[in-house]
Amino acid sequence: MAVGIVGYGAYIPLHRIKVEEIAKVWGADAPSYKRGLMLQEKSVPAPDQDVITMSVEAARKALKRSGINPVDIGNIYIGSESHPYAVKPSGTVVAEAIGATPDIHCADFEFACKAGSESMFVSYGLVKAGLVKYGLGIGADTSQGAPGDALEYSASAGAAAFLFGEENLLATVDHTCSYTTDTPDFWRREYQFYPRHGGRFTGEPAYFKHVMGAGTKLLELSGLKPSDFQWAVFHQPNGKFPMKVGKKLGFTEEQMTQGWLVPKLGNTYSGASPLGLTAILDVAKPGDKIFMCSYGSGAGSDGFVFTAQDKLTEVQGAATQTWDQLNKARYLEYGAYAKFRGKINKLEEN
């Protein structure tokens, strides 16, 4: 029996900050950042938003589109590098909030920016193995970039949730693969607030090697050509990388633009390619083939081939769509942004 996506949902915070606003504070050249990284602005979580609240928002939309009873969900895995707690899962809070407890498997996933796609793969796998009726995989992050670092222009927030099952499929999962090596291009040790990265090492030997590795393997496994797909989405740490790697694999801008959210959204880390996938599912037509490839530092890439099913068109409008969320924005100045992100803190009076 085919296994696939039975529900999906996206959540993007309302607040944004523009590249110019960050560059102004650090005396940096905004046009060169905008050109070099192909970024315009990024989402910013409000002070009361975190991976848990955003995951709840995205999961509720996925439930709405699926129409299933949450008690039938057999697992919840949230992939993130910004879980609010170092010890204590995010998933239990989300499971409770959506009414999926107590008969549910739960653990938090971490694999830099690909923890979300890994949670999707495991959820899909459990359904396919017949161990759970429905599996919920979420990718969510409120990623941090150190003040003034190149990452500060891209590190943003968002969440995407996917319910996997065997009936009433919105899209089938046709093929999956993964490509993993020990490549330390980006990391954050315990007790450190901001991640560190290997500069240009994060490019060719890290992102491009792994996305090309998984992407090429996925094309081979599926026996499909890039032109057989209507849509393609890649991990998007900045605007440039996904377009470059996609074209290198043989995809066109037309196939990639719908899921290329990063110029306005920034890099949502574990949420990045999953959120791009939600934007594609919002418009895909039955029969459309979708190519997805994530990337996580450390490093690895997960690949998926989906085929949109008839039922998809019935539920596309059942919850707020991804681009509609992206187009609704409230802009922050750097001061408020610094407060929202905990870069400055109010003195606690004794």
Catalytic (active site) residue 235:
yes
Does 204 participate in binding other proteins (rule CB under 8 A)? yes
Q: Do the strands 73-79 and 134-142 form a parallel or antiparallel pair, or are they unpaired?
A: parallel
- The residue range among 54-62, 92-100, 195-203, 332-340 that interacts with other proteins, by the rule CB under 8 A, is 195-203
Catalytic (active site) residue 113:
yes
Catalytic residue, chosen from 83, 197, 210, 235, is 235
Q: How far is the CB of 31 from other proteins (least distance, A)?
A: 9
| Dist. CA 75–CA 123, nearest whole Å | 7
Joined tokens for residue 263: 């110029």
Residue 328 phi/psi, 5-degree rounding, is -100, 115
| Dist. CA 296–CA 315, nearest whole Å | 30
Q: How many residues bind other proteins (CB under 8 A)?
A: 8
Q: How far is the CB of 38 from other proteins (least distance, A)?
A: 15
- The residue range among 16-24, 196-204, 281-289, 335-343 that interacts with other proteins, by the rule CB under 8 A, is 196-204
Draw the binding track, 128-147, toward other proteins (x: CB under 8 A; -: no contact).
--------------------
Draw the binding track, 32-71, toward other proteins (x: CB under 8 A; -: no contact).
x---------------------------------------
Could you say which of 87, 199, 349, 350 contacts other proteins (CB under 8 A)? 199
Does 198 participate in binding other proteins (rule CB under 8 A)? yes
Catalytic residue, chosen from 113, 177, 210, 293, is 113
| Dist. CA 274–CA 325, nearest whole Å | 15
- Nearest Cα residue to 36 out of 44, 25, 28, 45: 28
With respect to other proteins, which residue has the nearer C-beta, 102 or 199? 199
Does 201 participate in binding other proteins (rule CB under 8 A)? yes
With respect to other proteins, which residue has the nearer C-beta, 89 or 205? 205
Whether the bond between 58 and the residue before it is cis, its omega within 30 degrees of 0, is no
Report which residue type is found at 16: R
Does 192 participate in binding other proteins (rule CB under 8 A)? no
With respect to other proteins, which residue has the nearer C-beta, 202 or 322? 202
Q: How far is the CB of 205 from other proteins (least distance, A)?
A: 4
Catalytic (active site) residue 81:
yes
CA dist list (Å): 86 to 53, 56, 144, 242:
17, 19, 16, 31
Could you say which of 2, 69, 96, 200 contacts other proteins (CB under 8 A)? 200
| Dist. CA 243–CA 238, nearest whole Å | 9
Q: How far is the CB of 82 from other proteins (least distance, A)?
A: 23
Could you say which of 205, 323, 336, 339 contacts other proteins (CB under 8 A)? 205
Residue 315 phi/psi, 5-degree rounding, is -110, 0
Q: Where are the beta strands (DSSP E) in the chain?
A: 4-11, 15-18, 41-44, 73-79, 105-109, 134-142, 157-165, 171-183, 186-187, 196-197, 231-234, 289-293, 298-308, 330-331
Q: Do the strands 15-18 and 330-331 form a parallel or antiparallel pair, or are they unpaired?
A: parallel
Stated as kind and residue range, the H or E segment containing 115 is: helix 115-129
Q: How far is the CB of 29 from other proteins (least distance, A)?
A: 6
Catalytic residue, chosen from 81, 83, 177, 293, is 81
Residues annotated as catalytic (active site), given as ranges: 81, 113, 235
In the complex, which residues of this chain contact other proteins (CB under 8 A)?
A: 29, 32, 198-201, 204-205
